[in-house]
A and B are shown apart, each in its own frame.
Chain A
């Protein structure tokens, strides 16, 4: 039985309202691209922010939209990083963009295979399984030193110019433009994805898997799909790291990386896609500042932040954005126009 036409129209309208671009979003990306010209000295750290933001975006897809807690997201990051570094080192694929795609698909394949492991069990089981997968990969990379360089890392990687034209330079100019473009494109894809009916069904799975399956959502298939996509994103983030630094080491798989990533996402707030990006900016700036003071004890500050964030409450931490959001709501003239139209439609209803 087809739903009545007015319900379809209402649903479509609601979906497209969700997907509409907000002025602040446009401002955010304009600022990010303006940094290419305005902050040329900061391109190295901006590059790091860009790939970290992409990595956090990937965690947001599974944590913020599907509710999967992962302590081993570095598995896919590292897999992508090693794939990209190995492809470049052995000159299998010389063109970075192509190598990036291949690394992303490799990480997706790994994500697809391991996604079946996170379907079952409680939060704790998922935590352990994701952590276990990352540890396993780290062990593998350590064992097969002839391939990965073992504990010394993979050295002697040279990355060819992007698209055969733009050479990576030591100031990070090419690196930043490259990473930012990749981030922007993948962000658009993720934005499209979470605003689609598929994204909504994920949210319902996160809210209550049992009820979601009762209204006809195949929970397992959705989780597999989003986990696979997120793994691909993480892999591409790792590949960006490997390509911009021309290096990959065991550290890409480390537990600290997965834990830091959780912090990055939590600072910005999960579940609205920008959390990871904003978190990455704040995290890197703090790291830059604090580790200049005490490089060795940087983990202490990470730990302190995590503890404080939890004790104060995650929702209260992200509530610092509330005034901005209120301002944003006022700025959004189209939303205001919609509200007026809706109110008048309400009045004229027979």
Chain B
């Protein structure tokens, strides 16, 4: 029981790292980015190639995965995404779906369509027992890394100058730019950082979520759930939503395996109907 909770928390934290970038892009630019998973996939494949082909240690790959996805993110943002911000939602949806399809087919072409794995060090494998809870070493690492990241993100958002600018821009873009905040630059940086986080999440997730070219399509709905259920006005909303989703998904698959993902989709629809602004959104509680 507690083991399931533990696994669920690890899964949820991973989802949070994967999706947090999306929450910012959606909140800041009101931009529907369905291609977020492609950046996560990029990070995952970078890790797989580095670990399996180049023999780089797994832990050293994580920052590299972050960097690779962040660079990819900023290139895409500056060359392609900037043209689409002002367009209607339908165009954004079409555009990002197009990117997903291209990413899926391109990775399929380069890496093959079968699932891939990264060798993780022996020290991270296996489980140990603490007070009767089975604790997977690798999952503990995920919780540690993602927990640190969450605290770090929260700190950046609430305590630094950049964070307050970002929050101001999310709250009201026009007023913020009127106050002399360069919203576009903040956005480009956040986009790159969010893509980097997705890449890191993708790298960490190779072991747990599995990785094959259809990754962005498979997990698109999960990212969207995190963002829409959590709301985009704070970072705690998506965090709680990811934890709920992670625990709900793991517990659901364990206790009622016949229903599969059914539970998650139903909950999502109910929440969206009940509170279209998201469960933890300030706009809804005001």
Contacts and interface: CB of A to CB of B under 8 A. Distances in A.
Q: How large is the interface on B (under 10, 10 to 19, 20 to 34, 35 or more residues)?
A: 35 or more
Contacts of A133: 269
B170 interface: no
A303 B276 contact: no
Contacts of A341: none
Main secondary structure of the interface of B (DSSP, over half): helix
B98 A310 contact: yes
Contacts of A129: 269, 272-273
Contacts of B182: none
Contact of A306 (B101, B109, B113, B269): B101
Contacts, number: 127
Given A123-B32, A128-B224, A133-B269, A311 B83 contact: yes
B252 to A, nearest CB: 12
Main secondary structure of the interface of A (DSSP, over half): helix
B87 A310 contact: yes
Given A69-B89, A300-B102, A143 B262 contact: yes
A339 B16 CA distance: 62
B46 interface: no
B5 interface: no
Interface string B149-173: 0000000000000000000000000
Q: How large is the interface on A (under 10, 10 to 19, 20 to 34, 35 or more residues)?
A: 35 or more
Contact of B99 (A69, A135, A307): A307
B268 interface: yes
A139 interface: yes
Nearest to B227: A124
A12 interface: no
A111 B168 CA distance: 41
Interface string B75-109: 00000100110010111111101111111111011
Interface of B: 26, 32, 80, 83-84, 87, 89-95, 97-106, 108-109, 113, 217, 221, 224-225, 228, 258-262, 265-266, 268-269, 272-273, 276
* Nearest 3 pairs of A and B residues by beta carbon: A306-B98, A303-B101, A300-B105
Given A300-B105, A311-B95, 9 more contacts: A63-B90, A117-B269, A129-B272, A135-B221, A135-B265, A259-B97, A303-B99, A307-B80, A310-B94
Interface of A: 63, 69, 71, 117, 120-125, 127-129, 131-133, 135-136, 139-140, 142-143, 255, 259, 262-263, 266, 296-300, 302-307, 309-311, 314
